[in-house]
Amino acid sequence: MSIRELTPEQARACHANGALLIDVRDAHERAGGMAEGALGIAKADLLADPAQHLPAQQREILLICQSGKRSADAAQALLDAGYSNLASVAGGTVAWRTSGLPLVQPLLDAGERDFYDRYSRHLLLPQVGEAGQRRLQQARVLVVGAGGLGAPAAFYLAAAGVGRLRIVDDDVVERSNLQRQIIHTEAALGTAKVVSARERLLALNPRIEIEAVSERVTSANVDALLQDVDVVLDGSDNFPLRYLLNDACIKHAKPLVYAAIERFDGQVSVFDAGRQRGVAPCYRCLFPEPPPPEFAPNCSEAGVLGVLPGLAGIMQATEVLKLVLDIGEPLVGRLLRFDALQMRFRETRVPADPACAVCAPGTPFPGYIDYAAFCAHTA
């Protein structure tokens, strides 16, 4: 038996005569406007337990979705379940709107309305959806550094709706930062970077929480900084801090999203050895010892193309979102290198080192060391 299809005008007339009109779209879709008089019940919820939502099987039931396909599919499933008086609105809510028929906004509090409006494009993605966006809302990310890498990464994490960002940096904004550290402005010169970053991020998304920590990351405070976070984003620019973050993330079993930049070149990876001993590598598996300083100058010594940290930072933000949402294939065990002058990308496999002093299976955490001395000694 085929499902009846009604025009929006016919459906409105049937509803006026007592038919039950049900909008089977998800809540985030209904937030943009529903056919007047429709009852919102997501298709999955409706079909999971029809008897909970529907009256007698003989009552006329009209289903509407966005374009007509889901409602027709839902009507067919209800027909198979014993409901006999069914119809689907051809063209769905799109046709209803085009016909000039009245739409109403569902009653939502300000927070829910903001949620559905702000993240509407995420909510359309099957890999994210409402459940994934709620997961982002509950996530906690530590961003180490509010400079070239941390600036673009934090911007996009805030925009994406990561609910809690803890940003740590002990520096202040200087004019030379503004060429690449886009989170800061001329008006913020002399201000603590974390304070400047917090102000800009809350201006972008006032419904997230920003914890600004104006401190240098050390062995004494790193454990507290990692407390309760889901992912650590390394926006540092020196080897002692990179080794410290690596070791702390192994100790606390946190994924570490790494990037480094120089002149026109950058590299990005994800180190997750703390949760995947013997499978995923750590930073020490890639760099057992730091290179001599002359082979790894920082931006203040070698210079950097202003957009380069933007490229790397956005890649880092992408990896953070993938880790929180548990989607795609994170850059675990892979080092992505790029040359911005030639716009060429190269991927190198990074295996876990079975003899790594920190992340090898069964190796107890050796404790923090004097990382400055370690880097100076090996240089």
pLDDT digit string, tens, across residues 272-307: 999 999 999 999 999 998 876 655 556 666 778 999
pLDDT in tens, 99-153: 999 999 888 889 999 999 999 999 999 999 999 999 999 999 999 999 999 999 9
Shared-domain flag, residues 94 and 185:
no
Does a structural domain hold residue 38?
yes
Task: State how far the Cα of 215 lies from the Cα of 29, in Å rounded to an integer.
Answer: 43
Q: For residue 197, what is the domain's CATH number?
A: 3.40.50.720
Does a structural domain hold residue 133?
no
pTM: 0.87
Of the residues 91, 107, 123, which one is the last residue of a structural domain?
107
pLDDT of residue 379: 44
Shared-domain flag, residues 100 and 143:
no
| Number of structural domains in the chain | 2
Shared-domain flag, residues 187 and 94:
no
Shared-domain flag, residues 237 and 285:
yes
Does a structural domain hold residue 112?
no
Shared-domain flag, residues 150 and 95:
no
Q: For residue 9, what is the domain's CATH number?
A: 3.40.250.10
Does a structural domain hold residue 236?
yes
What residues of the chain score a pLDDT lower than 50?
Answer: 379
Shared-domain flag, residues 81 and 208:
no
pLDDT of residue 1: 66
Provide the token pair at 201.
């991020």
Range of the domain at 303: 139-378
Shared-domain flag, residues 313 and 198:
yes
Q: What CA–CA distances, in Å, run from 143 to 153, 168, 257, 283?
A: 8, 7, 10, 17
Shared-domain flag, residues 37 and 172:
no
Provide the token pair at 178.
């503004």
Shared-domain flag, residues 21 and 96:
yes
pLDDT of residue 299: 61
The total of other beta-carbon atoms located within 10 Å of residue 252's CB is 16
Q: What CA–CA distances, in Å, run from 324 to 19, 140, 213?
A: 44, 9, 22
Does a structural domain hold residue 324?
yes
Q: Residue 13: which H helix or E strand, with range?
A: helix 8-16
Does a structural domain hold residue 240?
yes
The DSSP line for 177-244 is GGGT-TT--GGGTTSBHHHHHHHHHHHH-TTSEEEEE-S---TTTHHHHHTT-SEEEE---SHHHHHH
pLDDT of residue 100: 96
Shared-domain flag, residues 303 and 237:
yes
Does a structural domain hold residue 281?
yes
Placement of tokens 């190198």 in the chain: 348
Does a structural domain hold residue 115?
no
The total of other beta-carbon atoms located within 10 Å of residue 337's CB is 15
Shared-domain flag, residues 192 and 333:
yes
Shared-domain flag, residues 162 and 63:
no
